[in-house]
Amino acid sequence: MPFPDVVTPAARAALADVRFTPYWLDQPSRPAARPALVGDVEADLVVIGGGLSGLWTAYEARRRFPDWSVILLEGQRIAEAASGRNGGFVAASLTHGLPNGMSRWPGEMPELLRLGQANLDGIVSVVEAEGIDCDLVRSGELDVAVDGYQVADLREMVEAAGALGLDYEFLDRDAVRSMVDSPTYHAGVLDRRGVVMVDPARLSWGLASAAERAGVVIHEQTRVTDLGRAGTGMVVTTDFGSVRAGRVALATSAFPPLLRRLGHYVVPVYDSVLMTEPLTPEQRASIGWQDRIGIGDAGNQFHYYRITHDGRILWGGYDASYYGGFNPMHERQGAPFARLSEHFRYTFPQLEGLRFTHAWAGAIDTCSRFSAFWGTAYDGRLSYSLGFTGLGVGASRFGAQVMLDLLSGESTERTRLEMVRTKPIPFPPEPIRGIGIGITRRAIDKADRNEGRRNIWLRTLDRIGLGFDS
């Protein structure tokens, strides 16, 4: 059965006390802001953006090139944007999931899976070695069919995964409901190895401290306003200063791009999240969800949900909203929150009366192939990594390593990948872009309400490899 369209008064009432701020950033352990850059300085590498992409780049740069001096500039606060607003699912997948990877790079999938798992293991190693307190749990992920037609899709996914050596497990209705009990579940697929859960803000803060210990200089509240060539290097201009640097790594995600060409490839899509109050032991028992496994449902528009260390449920996703551009005002749109609240009641009727404490949204750097892309500019002095489309908590470390490969001019197993060498199909300019995304979103919604049947518009987009997702 599709998720309900109508929002009931009970679903609205559950939102009455929310704070419109990301739960992850609303913690006493949030570090104070580091001082802004004031004046003109020099470095071998300047990293722009203090989300996970930029932080991994700075941290890995000092480990790989100990001679390089590294400065990171963050326009707001560390993890203020997507990196402190996400679900905290750290996936091995570099390709926004198996089906997307198989449809785009079938020949490369064994290598992409190997590199992805190595990347995830590398993240866990750094968290352990640096003592980063980010509530990392080797939880795995459960994908659930919430409509009858999705069962066959899940079975197909298990078969395809098996052929690639992945150990996914198919669960029938009883088996899945014995793990987590929702009347909406028809079946599930369990991936125990390929996903871990974190508190993403604490991962970012811990990584920032680890980068500093490794010698990186971080400036927060330091917006880069311009960049260009200077002699054999680059100059990066900020509100109150500048950095002259040999190399620049651009990790600004869905924000207005400092490199104009990137605006053709990435659109800011807003994704919304709710956090419940902590569940009582009785409430937790009523849904049978005893461990910390992350859950995603299997529609085109999907929810993701997980349990926090203090027993709350994070519940996000479904609406991927494009409002025509980047603007923090879009983080406060009420309709997606109300819809999420209704869908939560529908999924867990046992939790009637549970209230939400936090509601927030964040911009996702959506590109038409749903997975990151890379490139260089200014004769190789600048590299960029973006387009993670909602699955970048883990992949950002891989993306950072590719940026460093490109800046150092080294040919590596990463830079030889077709996925790394190619770019997504660009989005058309406005107003066609907005009209096209609107038609696509409506078609996806219709498909989700019609047993997944994709109409001619979606099938045409599929054929040319152009998509829209979050």
Residues that bind ligand FAD (CB under 6 A): 48-54, 73-76, 80-83, 85-89, 91, 223-224, 251-253, 255, 258, 271, 273, 304, 316, 362-364, 388, 390-394, 396
Q: Which residue has the tokens 């003592």?
A: 131
Write the CB contacts of 172 (distance below 8 Å, at least 6 apart in sequence).
187
Q: Residue 175: which residues within 8 A CB-CB, separation 6 or more?
A: 188
Which ranges of 27-108 does DSSP label H, i.e. alpha helix?
Answer: 52-64, 98-104
Nearer to ligand FAD, 150 or 396 (CB): 396
If the CB atoms of residues 73 and 407 are measured against ligand FAD, the closer one turns out to be 73
Nearest to 363 by CA among 98, 82, 156: 82
The gap between the terminal CA atoms of the chain, to the nearest Å, is 22
Q: How far is the CB of 281 from ligand FAD (least distance, A)?
A: 26
- Closest separation in Å from C-beta 379 to ligand FAD: 22
CB of 51 to ligand FAD, least distance (A): 2
- Residue number, 283 or 385, with CB nearest to ligand FAD: 385
CB of 333 to ligand FAD, least distance (A): 13
Tokens encoding 244:
């002259």
Cα 94–323–327 angle (5° rounding)?
Answer: 85
CA distance linking residue 51 with residue 57, whole number of Å: 10
One-letter amino acid identity for 139? S
Cis geometry, peptide bond prior to residue 431 (ω within 30 degrees of 0): yes
Q: Which is nearer to ligand FAD, 89 or 374 (CB)?
A: 89
φ/ψ region of 231 (left if φ > 0, alpha if ψ in -120 to 50, else beta) reads: left
Nearer to ligand FAD, 255 or 468 (CB): 255
Q: Give the shortest CB-470-to-ligand FAD separation in angstroms.
A: 8
Nearer to ligand FAD, 102 or 258 (CB): 258
Query: Least distance in Å: CB of 469 to ligand FAD?
Result: 12
State the nearest-atom distance from the C-beta of 57 to ligand FAD, in Å: 9
- Quote the least distance from Cβ 197 to ligand FAD, whole Å: 9
Collapsing DSSP states into helix, strand and coil, what is residue 386?
strand
How far, in Å, CA of 186 to CA of 146, rounded? 6
Taking the CA atoms of 76, 77, 81 and 83 in sequence, report the sign of the dihedral they define. Answer: positive
Give the shortest CB-451-to-ligand FAD separation in angstroms. Answer: 27
**H helices of 76-191, where?**
98-104, 109-129, 150-163, 173-179
Strands 187-191 and 89-91: unpaired
User: Which residue's CB is nearer to ligand FAD, number 84 or number 233?
Assistant: 84
In the chain, helix, strand, coil percent, each to 5? 35, 25, 40
Minimum distance, C-beta of residue 114 to ligand FAD, in the bound complex (Å):
19
Q: Three-state SS for 399?
A: helix
Cα-based distances in Å from 95 to 207, 412, 424? 24, 19, 12
The nearer residue to ligand FAD, 258 or 313, going by C-beta atoms, is 258
Q: Could you give the CA distance from residue 296 to residue 145 in angstroms, rounded to a whole number?
A: 9
Nearer to ligand FAD, 105 or 388 (CB): 388
**Choice between 3 and 302, CB closer to ligand FAD:** 302
Which one, 170 or 200, has the nearer CB to ligand FAD? 200
Reference 213, options 133, 132, 134, 136; nearest CA is 132
The nearer residue to ligand FAD, 52 or 458, going by C-beta atoms, is: 52
Helical H runs in 409-466?
418-421, 432-448, 456-464
Least separation in angstroms between CB 371 and ligand FAD: 10
For 75, counting Cβ atoms within 10 Å of its Cβ (0-12 exposed, 13-18 middle, 19+ buried), the class is: buried
As measured in angstroms, the least distance from the Cβ of 234 to ligand FAD is 14
